[in-house]
Amino acid sequence: MDLYASVVFIHASTILLFFIAHGTSMAVAFKLKQETDPARVRALLELSRSSLGAPAITVVIIGFVSGIAVGFLGEWWGMWWIWIALVLFVVAAGLMTPLATNRFAKIGAAAGLPGRGKDPAPAVEDPVEMQRLIAAWSPLPIAAFGLAAFLVLLWLMLVKPF
Provide the pLDDT for residue 86: 95
Q: What's the whole-model pTM score?
A: 0.83
CA–CA distances in Å: residue 81 to residues 88, 94, 162? 10, 20, 6
pLDDT digit string, tens, across residues 141-152:
999 999 999 999
User: Within 10 A of 147 (CB to CB), how many other CB atoms are there?
Assistant: 11
| Sequence-ordered list of residues with C-beta below 8 angstroms from that of 3, at least 6 positions apart, any chain | 73
Provide the pLDDT for residue 55: 87
CA–CA distances in Å: residue 80 to residues 64, 86, 105, 149, 160? 18, 10, 37, 17, 9
Torsion of CA 50, 143, 111, 132, to 10 degrees: 180
Mean pLDDT computed over every residue of the chain: 91
- pLDDT-derived band at 124 (thresholds 50, 70, 90) equals confident
The answer to whether 43 and 31 are in contact (CB under 8 A) is no
Pick the closest to residue 38 from 111, 88, 105, 99 (CA basis): 111
| Sequence-ordered list of residues with C-beta below 8 angstroms from that of 37, at least 6 positions apart, any chain | none
Provide the pLDDT for residue 3: 95
pLDDT digit string, tens, across residues 61-108:
999 999 999 999 999 999 999 999 999 999 998 998 888 888 999 999
The answer to whether 127 and 21 are in contact (CB under 8 A) is no
**High-pLDDT (> 70) share of the chain, %:** 96
Q: In whole angstroms, what is the distance from residue 14 CA to residue 59 CA?
A: 6
Q: Is 34 in a helix, a strand, or coil?
A: coil
